Structure 1
Amino acid sequence: MRDATATTDRGGLPRGGSDGVLYNRDFVKFWSGETVSLIGAQVSELAMMLVAVVTLRASAFQIGLITVARFTPYVMLSLFAGVWFDRHRRKSALISSNLGRAALIAVVPLAATAGLLSMELLYVVALLFGVLTVLFDVGSLSYLPGLVDRRHLTEANSKIQISYSIAGIGGPGLAGLLVGVLTAPVTLSVTVASYLFAAVTLVLIRTREPEPQTPARRTSVPASIGEGLRAVFGNRILRNLATQSATFNLFENVVTTLFAVYAVRQMGLTASQLGFVISAGAVGALLGAALAPRVTRLAGLGRTLRLTTLVACTAPVLLLIPGGPRPVSLVVLAAGLGIHGLTLAMFNVNALTLRQTVTPRGVLGRMNAGFRLLLFGTIPLGALLGGGLSTVFGLRAGLVIGVAGLALPIAWLAFSPVFALTTMPEGPWPDGNSVRNEPKDGNTDNAL
């Protein structure tokens, strides 16, 4: 029997043992902190909105400005964050980000107690919170591959996706309960503890982070950003993943922007019925994240990616069907979002692992930053497009266009090398621009 204690693989990365990533104690610390902080983020997001709506009587436009403040840093800072994380160790920045987010959230209840709470303060808090969240997101995506054995990277990403799903399912409900008992400002003080807990778990990690690769010649920040963008768009695997995911995200946000309004105003769903339907998507995502490693082992990487792409892109068609008895309509809507969430989570687990695997360690931060910029940058664009479509063509026609647009990423099945892979590549290749055959254990598998 092989020893399950932590060692390193031939690439110098930590090994969590032959029994899976949960035998890697440092990953468990990272995962537990990430889970608690994600739940805290869900609670704080709803509580912040309720502070604005209930306590400060904010308008819909002012609520929108809070969202803009939260996501603007992704567009403005992601690429610079990627450069920084490729030149420095990530752990200390992750700890500082969690401590900073705890301090920022604490400002709101303190200001409420002192009678200093205002919308302007919420804008500033949301903007600075977004800055720290960008740093944490880019840093954590780059930190994880150095924490676990490459063999366990898919399983580790599956666990993280499970945490996102758990937070999506339980966070809003927990926030509603806490706000009802404690009020919105006090609820925010409770979420401070989640970021402090996450910071402590990072401090307790004992695995030494690999030293950042030092380039032979120091490059400027713009040149480093250019290298990161070339790492994404100069690599066929990453380029096709980026363009496919950005197209999907654009129309996904058209659909999510319009569906809630359409369901309430034209279908007549109550708040509880809408909550049931939306929670089905989160439950599906939880199941998909949990099943992703097993399904990929049984079906193979390329086949799993093909199947999940087809289903995730077409399942939202079910959102357009209901029009009969209310119980049947609810089941159809829930099925559409549940299947969509399940297959999307499976795709995301494998796509994220593939990105982390084929990218050289020296540009990992900049690769993740480039993807963050593309994927999060489509959120406001999709929301604006959805609003424009509904204004010009009406809610249902806008939703139909959004659902039709979600089918566009299926076109990548015809030409993307991503779907030709049968197994996860061993690691990055010097040119990184083509799918090639590499013998392994007597077999010939497609690899990058």
Structure 2
Amino acid sequence: MTQPPQRGLGRHYQMLLSAYVISNAGTWVYRITLPLLVLHLTGSALQTAAVYALEYGPFLLLSLPGGVFADWFNRKRLLVAGDLSAGVIAAVLAVLVSAGPSALPAIYVVAFLLACAEPVYHPAFQGLLPDVVSGEHLDTANARLQSADNILSLVGPVLAGGLVAAVGYQPAIYLDAVSFGLSALLIFLIRVEVFRPERPARPNFLGDLRAGLRYVTRGNRTLLAGSLLFTGSNFGIWLVQANLVYYLTTYLKLSSTVVGVVYAAQGVGALLGSLLAPRVIRVLGNGRTIALSTVMAGLLTALLAVLRDPVGVSVVSGLVFALGSTNVVSWFTLRQRIVPKELLGRVVAATRMLAFSTIPLSALLAGALEDAWHDMYLIILIGAGLRLAVGLAGTRSSLVAKQPAVTP
């Protein structure tokens, strides 16, 4: 028996949150274990780096198709199928580990297949959430998901590394497979009325894909403004973030331990930002929260060019990441509220791909500029200025206008 979204968050949301935490904890095990395994088998930095390329490739190839699938099929069933498929693939990967270096080509293929699940899973998950939680509680629901993600980002690598040291590569990957199975079970047990899109007798994949892109670019000015803001903001962020380790160690002469403290401060800031996001959104609204937090993050980032002591750098970095996390919670909530449910999967995929598209370009440009200029202070100011500029543009856009009514 299915139920409508419950008042408050309710037990169905708690099950969805638990599934998210369990599967993402397993994913952290995989993210740490696989590069360590490849390095152990090959001793090659290039082949180890190829693992990360394999993770990014499916995102570029499958994000938009994944959004179409999330709008074509029952999203709950799609999540269950995705978790079960990922669990089986992870189990196959664990079996291959015992074969040693001879299985490396097969390990790469299976790792690529495992990475293919995420571009389909994410838009389906974002599309299912409004079916589980009533509209007025979406900000809190997204905030808790973001908080869980931030906590896992803090403790996941440490726990995964400790797990590999304690039990070895193969058992660690088997545990990853089990985590996907548990996530599938929890989502399967959720009993809510899931939105069922009306599919035409002859589905048109390219036509549906174009419809999603058309809605992002022409159908909703608020959505387009937010997408462009995040695209530009990410470019500015990664001009700084891509060279941060180099800057901290080479310019500020900080030890690796202190560099770790700076990154930990970023993680703590992101966690606090996600926890405070619902209160900020209730005061400012979604659009103003996005625009103003981007403005403030740009101003604070500029301080990194003048601060020299590790305490100040850590505090400012933490505040910048707190604003960024609040930003993400507000964006997810706004997108779920204003996009028609039958388009939500495609819109999530398209806006996410657009926002992420500038990250690799910005990271490469950051390194090239440092090699050419040898002036990280200027590069930081450029990144901060770009983030400030897109935030100010956001304050003059439809983001801060009266928001459309919640989509039924």
| TM-score, length basis structure 1 | 0.84
Of the candidates 121, 127, 132, which is equivalent to residue 142 of structure 1? Answer: 127
Report deviation, 1:198: 1.0
Within the alignment, does 1:251 sit opposite 2:232 as a pair?
no
Closer/same/farther in 2, CA of residues 90 and 117 from structure 1, 3 Å limit: farther
Q: Which residue of 1 aligns with 2:406?
A: 427
Closer/same/farther in 2, CA of residues 333 and 125 from structure 1, 3 Å limit: farther
Closer/same/farther in 2, CA of residues 66 and 311 from structure 1, 3 Å limit: same
Report deviation, 1:259: 0.5
What secondary structure does 2:192 align onto? Answer: coil
Distance 2:11 2:253 in 1: 49
Distance 2:70 2:172 in 1: 33
Of the candidates 309, 312, 333, which is equivalent to residue 353 of structure 1? Answer: 333
How much is the aligned-residue C-alpha RMSD, in angstroms?
2.3
Of the candidates 367, 388, 402, which is equivalent to residue 407 of structure 1? Answer: 388
After superposition, residues 338-377 of structure 1 pair within 5 angstroms as 338-377=318-357
Distance 1:171 1:27 in 2: 22
What secondary structure does 2:304 align onto? Answer: helix
Report deviation, 1:85: 1.8
Distance 2:102 2:187 in 1: 32
Report deviation, 1:283: 1.0
Distance 1:79 1:211 in 2: 20
Q: Which residue of 2 aligns with 1:57?
A: 43
Distance 1:316 1:246 in 2: 17
Of the candidates 138, 148, 162, which is equivalent to residue 147 of structure 2? Answer: 162
Of the candidates 226, 229, 238, which is equivalent to residue 213 of structure 2? Answer: 229
What secondary structure does 1:213 align onto? Answer: coil
Confirm or deny: 8 A CA contact 1:75 1:376 kept in the other structure. Answer: no
Q: Which has the higher contact order (CA 8 A, sep 6+)?
A: 2
Q: Which residue of 2 aligns with 1:31?
A: 17
Runs of 5+ unmatched residues, structure 2 = none
Report deviation, 1:201: 0.7
Report deviation, 1:118: 4.9
Q: CA offsets per residue over residues 175-221 of structure 1, 9 Å max, x none?
A: 22222322344423322222222111111111131221345x85522
Aligned length: 405
Closer/same/farther in 2, CA of residues 152 and 49 from structure 1, 3 Å limit: same
Report deviation, 1:416: 1.1
Q: Which residue of 1 aligns with 2:317?
A: 337
Within the alignment, does 1:381 sit opposite 2:361 as a pair?
yes
Comparing both structures, which one devotes a greater share of its residues to helix? 2
Distance 2:165 2:375 in 1: 33
Report deviation, 1:366: 0.9
After superposition, residues 62-101 of structure 1 pair within 5 angstroms as 62-101=47-86
Within the alignment, does 1:16 sit opposite 2:6 as a pair?
yes
Closer/same/farther in 2, CA of residues 99 and 270 from structure 1, 3 Å limit: farther
Confirm or deny: 8 A CA contact 1:71 1:376 kept in the other structure. Answer: no
Question: Identity of counterpart residues, as a percentage?
Answer: 29
Runs of 5+ unmatched residues, structure 1 = 1-5, 8-13, 324-328, 430-448
Report deviation, 1:224: 1.2
Report deviation, 1:105: 2.7
Closer/same/farther in 2, CA of residues 80 and 172 from structure 1, 3 Å limit: same
What secondary structure does 1:125 align onto? Answer: helix
